[in-house]
Amino acid sequence: MTEALPTLWFVLIAVLWAGYLFLEGFDLGVGMLMKLMARNDTQRRVLLNTVGPVWDGNEVWLVTAVGATFAAFPHWYASLLSALYLPFLLVLLGLIFRAVAFEWRGKRDSDAWRDRWDWSIAVGSFIAAAGIGAALALTTTGLPLDVNGNRVGGAFAWATMPALLGAVAVVLFCLVHAAAFVALKTEGSIRSQADRLFRRLLPVAMIPFLGWALLVQVGSGTVVTWFVVVLAVVAFIASYRAATVGRDGRAFAGLGVGMLALIGSIFGAAFPVVLPSTLDPAFDLTVQNASSSPYTLGLMSLVACFGLPLVLAYQAWTYWVFRRRVSEASIPAAHAVTAL
């Protein structure tokens, strides 16, 4: 049983990252659409209202994924985050500016004021998506690590083509995922805009994600993981067909299933390596040599049995409560508020 715990926690961490991309994907994408799709302040406020009740809860998955990596695989955590210090610092700054902008955007009735915070949301969302994409791509394709798990090279040794591919893949996925979500959650002209954007973007947006999956498959894929990639392609086709006939829910679900399948195929092909070394395969970090003690993993498993269902339950309840569509007609006119 103790020998299986590192594998169990590798799977759980993969699930946490997949959950983060599924939930925070449309969240970050909506932030970018604030400047890419919305035509006026009312439409931007509609976009904000689609994610307003859930965006901070979605970020719990990022905190949990990084925290679980730290506790279950401290060597993986140390090597990855130290090698990617600059990208993760930018991700953190992007998320901070984005969170502040959500809270401060409506505090003053000024177009210039709102425009600055809108750019903070859009740029912060882009930086966070690109940084997470680069990090996940590198943890499945490799970094220049020595025998001690230390990065070899300068501060930009991580800046490679796989990192760029992962960054582009996640940014484009977030945009198309957001378009599907906005079409599902809104009414009127903004829904039509999102639906058109989704159908135009989907055939192109998932190509980098497929390229990332294929890059990992070529190096270490199995029959099962190749089959999962095929299932992902089928899910994307089904998502596009659903969008063409106005089935917003099925389009959103199909895209999500396709992304989850690709993430599953990527982590499945990488297993049992959690962080490859591009210098020498003997320096690879694996589920065995990078994991914590069996006692730590056992205690974490016990806590997860209670904590994970609780997180899933409260997030499901939140989405159920705020399930209704938002329209421009439901947005009141902007106005100044005088403090009493």
Dump pLDDT digits (tens) for 25-42. 999 999 999 999 988 888
Kindly report the three-state secondary structure assignment for every residue of 203-249: HHHCHHHHHHHHHHHHHHCCHHHHHHHHHHHHHHHHHHHHHHCCCHH
- List Cβ neighbours of 139 (8 Å cut-off, separation of 6 or more): 76, 80, 270, 274, 275
What b/e readout covers 234-259, taking b as 16+ CB neighbours within 10 angstroms? ebbebbbebbeeebbebbbbbbbbbb
**Residue 34, amino acid:** M
> What band does 4 get if pLDDT is binned at 50, 70 and 90?
confident
Contact assessment for residue 162 and residue 137, using Cβ atoms and an 8 Å cutoff: yes
Contact assessment for residue 126 and residue 171, using Cβ atoms and an 8 Å cutoff: yes
Structure-model confidence comparison of residues 333 and 276, the more confident one: 276
> What band does 230 get if pLDDT is binned at 50, 70 and 90?
very high
The pTM of the full predicted model, rounded to 2 decimals, is 0.93
* Average pLDDT, integer, range 108-121: 90
Contact assessment for residue 54 and residue 272, using Cβ atoms and an 8 Å cutoff: no
